[in-house]
Amino acid sequence: MNEEKPNSRNIPLPIQREVRQRCGFGCVICGMPLYEYEHMEEWALVKRHVSDEITLLCDQHHREKTNGFLPKQIVTEANINPYNLREGVSKPYLLHFSGSEAVVEIGGNTFSCADQGYGTAMVPISVDGTPLIGLILADGHFLLNLVIFDEFNIPLLHIKNNQLVYKPNAWDIQLVGTTLTVREDHRKILIEIQFCPPNKVIINRGRFLKNGIEILVRPKNILITNNASVISGCSAINCYGGLIIGYHEKPISGFFAMNGISRYLGSNKEALKFEKESMHQNKL
C-alpha cells in the first residue's frame, strides 16, 4: 500500500522536519519560504534519506543548481549557514492579496469589510491596543496585518501589509499549498493560517497570545480562556472592531469588547471544561 520502500524517493516526514529546522524554514541561499527538499549528494548514488545530506532550495536556486549555474560548494556553505538563521528572521514574502472586499474567518466566525473610501480598516482581534489581526482596504488593495506572539510576548510571525516574515526559532514552520502552520511542539499548533488569495484568510486552529490573554481558535469557535467566553457563528460586517480585549488608549467599539479581563495564570483547565459543556449544549 503506502509503505515506504527502502529506496523510495519520498523523504520521511520526521526527516523533512529535521531539515526544515536545521535550514531555518527557508531556502538556504535566499530564505524564501517556498522550497523543495534537495539531496546534496546525487540521489542515484546515495539512495538514502539522511537529514544532514538534505537541504532546502527555492525553485529558482534549485533550477540554478540543476542547470549548473549554482556550484555545489555554494549550496554546501549555505547549508552550514542558512540565510534565515544568519539573518535571525525569514526573507519577507509578499502575499498576493487584492480587491475591494476582504473576509477573515476565525473559528467559524466571519469578519468582513468592503472598501468605503480611502483607508477603510477593520480590526478583527485587538489586545491592549495591539491589533493581532488588521485589514486595510484602499485603492483596490487588500492589506493583511497579523502578528503571532509566543507566551513570552515575543512576536514569532508577522504579516505587515501582506509581507510575511517569521523568526526561524519556532519549533516548526511549514507552508504546504497555501496553508501556513507554526507548531510549538509535536501536535501543538500555535497557528494555522489558510491564505485564500485574492481576498480571504481562514484561521481554524491556533492560539493568539498577548499580555496574558489567550484566545484559542478551533474550527467551530473561538474561546477566550481567561473568562471562558465562547464565540461561535458570529458575523461582523463593516464594523471597525471585532474582539477588542483589554485597555485601549483610543477606545475602539467592537462587536465583542471587554475591558478589565483577568490575565492568564497558567491553567486553562476550567475554561476548556466550560467550552466543552457549552458546545455540547448548543448541539442539543
**Using CB under 5 A as the criterion, which residues of the chain lie in contact with Zn ion when the complex forms?**
27, 29-30, 32, 58, 61
Task: Provide the minimum distance between the beta carbon of 146 and Zn ion in the complex, in angstroms, as a whole number.
Answer: 24
Question: Which residue lies nearer to Zn ion by CB, 32 or 216?
Answer: 32
Smaller CB distance to Zn ion: residue 20 or 248?
Answer: 20
Residue pair 33/164 in contact by the 8 Å Cβ criterion:
yes
| C-alpha cell at position 188 | 501543538
Between residues 49 and 62, which has the closer beta carbon with respect to Zn ion?
Answer: 62
The alpha-carbon radius of gyration of the chain (Å, integer) is 21
CA dist 245 and 119 (Å) reads 23
Shortest separation between residue 27's beta carbon and Zn ion, angstroms:
3
Between 26 and 206, whose beta carbon lies closer to Zn ion? 26
For residues 43 and 33, is the Cβ–Cβ distance under 8 A?
no
Read off φ and ψ for residue 54, nearest 5 degrees: -115, 145
CB of 33 to Zn ion, least distance (A): 10
Helices (H), the chain: 13-23, 43-46, 59-67, 72-80, 83-87, 269-283
> Shortest Cβ distance from residue 29 to Zn ion (Å)?
4
CA pair distance 151, 132, nearest whole angstrom: 14
What are the C-alpha distances in Å from 190 to residues 10, 78, 177? 27, 29, 18
Strands 235-237 and 241-245: unpaired
Q: Give the nearer residue to Zn ion in terms of CB position, either 66 or 227.
A: 66
Closest distance to Zn ion from the beta carbon of 63 (Å) = 10
Closer residue to Zn ion in complex, CB, 93/142: 93
Per 3-state DSSP, the chain is made up of helix, strand and coil in percentages (nearest 5) of 20, 40, 40
For the bound state, the minimum distance from the C-beta of residue 69 to Zn ion, rounded and expressed in Å, comes to 12
Residue pair 258/244 in contact (Cβ under 8 Å)? The answer is yes
At closest approach, how far in Å is the CB of 66 from Zn ion? 13
Phi first, then psi, for residue 270 (nearest 5°) are -60, -40
Cell numbers that stand for 108 in this block: 467559524
